[in-house]
Amino acid sequence: MAFIRRKERSRERFSLLLLDLEEYYFEQHTAYHMTGNGSSSLPNRYNQGSLKICSKSVIFEPDEVNKPILKIPLKDCKRIEAVEENDGNPFKETKPACILVETKQVYLIKEGDVVAPYKYERGERNVIFQLDMPLKTEDVVQTLLQLHRASCLDKLGDQTAMIAANLQSRLARTSFDKNSFQSVTERPHMECEAEMVSPLVTNPGHVCITDHNLYFQPLNSYPDSVVQIGLHSVRRIYKRRHGLRPLGLEVFCTENDLCSDIYLKFYNTKDRDELYYYIATFLENHITEHTAESYMLQWQRGHISNYQYLLHLNNLADRSVNDLSQYPVFPWVISDYSSPQLDLLNPASFRDLSKPVGALNTERLERLLERYRDMPEPRFMYGSHYSSPGYVLFYLVRVAPEHMLCLQNGRYDHADRMFNSVGETWKNCLEGGTDFKELIPEFYGTDSSFLKNLLSLNLGRRQGGGRVGDVELPSWASEVDDFLQKMRAALESQHVSEHLHEWIDLIFGYKQRGSEAVAAHNVFHPLTYEGVIDCDSIEDPDQKIAMLTQILEFGQTPRQLFTTPHPQRITPRFHSVSSGTSLSTSPNDLSPASPSLDSFEDLTEESKTLAWSNMNKLALQSSHKIHKEVVTGIAGTLSGTSIFSTSQDSTLKMFSKEGGGLQRSISFSNMALSSCVMLPEDKTVVCSSWDNNVYFYSIAYGRRQDTLMGHDDAVSQVCWRDNQLYTASWDSTIKVWKCVAADISSNKRAHFELLAELEHESGVNTIALSPAGTLLASGTKEGSLSVWDIASCSLLHQIACHSGKIHQVAFSPDSRNILSVGEDSCLKVTDVQTGMLLSTVPAEDEQRCFCWDGNTVLSGGQSGNLLIWDLLSSKVIHKIPAHSGPVTCIWMNEQCSSVITGGEDKQIMFWKHQY
């Protein structure tokens, strides 16, 4: 499984899992376990092995693998002292001193080298060890006596404090051994103390980071003397909560692996953060690449699978396979475990993802709600959680038996309560009074070993007499690999893809807490939620430890990632999976099918796709300085022969692309023009002006045909659709006008009817219509983004999107997302359906204008360069030198094959793809 290390240490049976929870392994010594009393009838026998000194116990691992490991809890010891070995002959020379431990109890572990429940030998007895280096005997005895005193203290808090002091003293007396550096030229950046974390255990030591490597050196040299990770191999890093405190750091050297390369817990947040930011400097765009919003955008558009997206969300929500109290949580998605065939085209085969497990059974839910209503505050609906260390090991006991024994004091659970059957487990989650657990990622992976008793473990007998063996599979699965393959196919199915966002709302999103959680019947015990209890504020050490233990063992709700409804996935045509289909496809292939060319509506769509895929091949055709001030707007005729541009010099210019020269220059007023738009049939150009007016210019007649005086301040932008004009103004309004066109030949002026006025809290700087013309987006001077329904003229969403003026907004071609750029030098993607911010991509300089196809962005900014962005990776993939000053506007023809830009350098530039 993910956290089961494949690299086994040869012949070594000892592991940190033999320690109690929250126990440390300090040091080891080669030693002999002496049996016999030294008499002629029962002479001394010497069993060689390793003596481990731990904070709460003494452990002896014999070299003979068939002999049991001895564990002696220090709290059960009555006497620890150094004694001289004597074989009963007073005339013989005294032999080296030994360590005598008088105890009431000894644990016998892994007898016959078999993982099994611990055996106990109770009753007072003496256990004697002789060190291979006798001179250390007295030091070891003094250490044991000190730890014994700590174990015998009445209060748990005092015990913990005394052991912690011992640990900190050991760390302070040692430092990182720089002889472990990979190269003599390495320069250390920082060194501090930390603990390496793995499931249920932590191991203290020293961290050192250099300009090339991250090192961890365990205090006890276990399992290796040093762990080394090259900084240039790091792919992902995450800050973690560990023990409810911001002390953890997890480092991954792979993109999609469940298990990290190292998980460290620091003793203070400052050390953790310094190391995090130092490593982050080696990861290009690390902070922007790994946000919930950026992954959401990739998932929504089908670039990562449901499985990958859930892994990323778990990672971002502090879930780690190295922390069983915060293990990654995955949903039950199938509800049918009894049919002979699994039909993934039938919605009835799936669980309702809009409800938590506890709310799936209406009758059980009603009983739980009755108790909830009668409960004093703080109330909760479910007395157990959907994820906890016990539940994780319930599923993984066959591959992680030592973890289960560690968690349950050397015992397995009762045979009838173990993970015996997938169908029985689902039935109990559906009907049981206290069982509301979800699944773990292993159910959707490729390693099926957790379903089989490959280690031949003796897990007990059930009431019917049968031994606990392999997990019983549903009848629709022929064997374990087939089961996992069908589970993964279900997770990636069309039905789950369309509803997974509902489950994300419950676990990671806005239905996790508050009134929405109550309405969704998704309320767990208060102690499971982040931030409810500040353990550092609890003064009583015993109460603090008890509270922390309860929280860690009971289960923890993931960190909340979303506070607004999660958008639905865009679900293109998926691979068909029916009950009769053989699922031989590997999990990596179970992703949305790529659209084929025959799915394009016409050749225009095909040409657009080709143009955007070659956007990095834009080449400058010509540039023309036709204005005296900043170019503010560009519009072209359908044929592309004539180009119109507006400027702060108050003129509208008509440029002949074929002739390469200026054809007309029109002045409407003495104030700046802010935008222009070409009306259908290429007969009229509409211009907006800072003089509060909108001007209509007839191309055929070469003169102004109408003026609309509609605002109390500058008109910043205009849009046109279906005989309706949309005007945005710095007077904080957008106005919607119905226009009856003028007939210049008969001297009839245009008629304007005001249909609606959309109020804003500050000046409107930019607007955009959705491709279908049903939605309008607006951006204000104060950074607010609004989405309006045109039919009802109602506000759907208003988001404080940017920290400064929004320069431009535009819908994606499918109308699902809005891209905006602003003074804060960020590109931001917002989901139209929910109003949720999906992605924030910082730019090196302020971007002023753009075009996009929903993923690739062509933008122009303060530097004068044209930048091509891949939003899914949040990266600039190409940079094209363009204007000598900021780029202020971009126009693209319908086929996306021709691009024209305008800038503060007063120029318009013509660009063409070079295929």
Whether the pLDDT of residue 598 is over 60: the answer is no
Residues 435 and 495 in one domain: yes
The dihedral through the CA atoms of 40, 46, 47, 50 has a sign that is positive
Cis peptide before 223 (omega within 30 of 0): yes
Query: Is residue 691 in a domain?
Result: no
Q: Is 651 helix (H, G, I), strand (E, B) or coil?
A: strand
Residues 204 and 286 in one domain: yes
Enter the tokens of residue 885.
């000053």
- pLDDT tens column, 747-793: 566 789 999 999 999 999 999 999 999 999 999 999 999 999 999 99
Angle formed at CA 705 by CA 701 and CA 707, multiple of 5 degrees? 155
Of 432, 475, 480, the C-alpha closest to 452 is 480
CA distance 591 to 568: 16
The dihedral through the CA atoms of 460, 463, 466, 468 has a sign that is negative
Q: Give the pLDDT mean for 494-522.
A: 97
Whether the pLDDT of residue 38 is over 60: the answer is no
Whether the pLDDT of residue 195 is over 60: the answer is yes
Enter the tokens of residue 870.
């891949």
CA–CA distance from 325 to each of 201, 320, 551, 556, 639 (Å)? 12, 9, 9, 6, 64
Enter the tokens of residue 368.
């739980």
Query: Is residue 644 in a domain?
Result: no
Lowest mean pLDDT among 134-138, 637-641, 861-865: 637-641
Enter the tokens of residue 595.
């659209």
Q: Where are the alpha helices (DSSP H) in 361-408?
A: 362-373, 389-396, 401-407
Query: Is residue 362 in a domain?
Result: yes
Residues 46 and 189 in one domain: no
Residues 82 and 223 in one domain: no
Of 680, 702, 681, 684, the C-alpha closest to 694 is 684
- pLDDT tens column, 651-706: 999 998 877 889 999 999 899 999 999 998 889 999 999 999 999 999 988 889 89
Q: Give the pLDDT mean for 315-339.
A: 95
The rounded percent of the chain whose pLDDT value lies above 90 is: 73
Neighbours of 541 (CB within 10 A): 15
Whether the pLDDT of residue 589 is over 90: the answer is no
Residues 139 and 233 in one domain: no
Residue type, 794: S
Check which CATH number belongs to the domain holding 469 and give it: 1.10.1540.10
Sheet with 673-678: strands ordered across:
673-678, 684-689, 693-698, 703-709
* Helices 306-316 and 494-507, axial angle in degrees (round to 10): 10
Check which CATH number belongs to the domain holding 250 and give it: 2.30.29.30
Q: Give the pLDDT mean for 4-23.
A: 74
- pLDDT tens column, 444-486: 999 999 999 999 999 999 988 889 999 999 999 999 999 999 9
pLDDT at 639: 80
For 304, half-sphere exposure in the C-beta direction (CA atoms, 13 angstrom radius) is: 18
Exposed/middle/buried for residue 239 (C-beta within 10 Å: 0-12, 13-18, 19+): middle
3-state helix, strand, coil in the chain (%, to 5): 25, 35, 40
Of 562, 589, 616, the domain-final residue: 589
Whether the pLDDT of residue 162 is over 90: the answer is yes
Residues 556 and 448 in one domain: yes
Enter the tokens of residue 409.
């004091």
CA distance 609 to 603: 10
pLDDT at 614: 87
Whether the pLDDT of residue 599 is over 60: the answer is no
CA distance 349 to 352: 10
Q: pLDDT: is 148 or 155 the higher one?
A: 148
Q: Is 282 helix (H, G, I), strand (E, B) or coil?
A: coil
Q: Give the pLDDT mean for 563-578.
A: 67
**What is the DSSP secondary structure assignment for residue 467, as one 8-state letter?**
B
Q: pLDDT: is 597 or 33 the higher one?
A: 33
Rg (CA), the chain: 35
pLDDT-based confidence at residue 546 (cuts at 50, 70, 90): confident
Q: Give the pLDDT mean for 798-803.
A: 94
CA distance 706 to 671: 17
Lowest mean pLDDT among 58-62, 616-620, 901-905: 616-620
pLDDT at 431: 95
Residues 441 and 564 in one domain: yes
Q: Give the pLDDT mean for 78-97.
A: 68
pLDDT at 379: 93
Q: Give the pLDDT mean for 319-324.
A: 94
Query: Is residue 599 in a domain?
Result: no
CA–CA distance from 274 to each of 243, 252, 863 (Å)? 20, 18, 32
Total structural domains in the chain? 3
Residues 135 and 258 in one domain: no
Find where tokens 């390793």 sit.
50
Query: Is residue 729 in a domain?
Result: no
* Helices 306-316 and 480-491, axial angle in degrees (round to 10): 80
Enter the tokens of residue 882.
């363009």
Residues 459 and 525 in one domain: yes
The strand pairing partners of 29, in sequence order, are 51
Query: Is residue 795 in a domain?
Result: no
Q: Where are the alpha helices (DSSP H) in 330-452?
A: 362-373, 389-396, 401-407, 422-431
pLDDT at 40: 53
Angle formed at CA 841 by CA 835 and CA 844, multiple of 5 degrees? 145
At 137, give phi and psi (nearest 5°): -55, -50
**Helix-then-strand count for the chain, H and E:** 15, 42
Find where tokens 């233990």 sit.
549
pLDDT at 645: 97
Of 282, 188, 178, the C-alpha closest to 231 is 282
CA distance 507 to 273: 27
Of 589, 604, 622, the domain-final residue: 589
Residues 167 and 190 in one domain: no
Exposed/middle/buried for residue 625 (C-beta within 10 Å: 0-12, 13-18, 19+): exposed
Q: What is the DSSP string of 799-839?
A: EE--SS-EEEEEE-TTSSEEEEEETTSEEEEEETTT--EEE
- pLDDT tens column, 221-278: 999 999 999 998 888 889 999 887 899 999 998 876 788 899 999 999 999 999 999 9
Query: Is residue 895 in a domain?
Result: no
Of 127, 76, 120, 119, the C-alpha closest to 101 is 127
The strand pairing partners of 330, in sequence order, are 439
- pLDDT tens column, 509-534: 999 999 999 999 999 998 888 877 77
Residues 148 and 180 in one domain: no
Query: Is residue 844 in a domain?
Result: no
Whether the pLDDT of residue 21 is over 90: the answer is no
Of 290, 311, 335, the domain-final residue: 290
* Residue range(s) defining the domain that contains residue 41: 16-171
Residues 151 and 179 in one domain: no
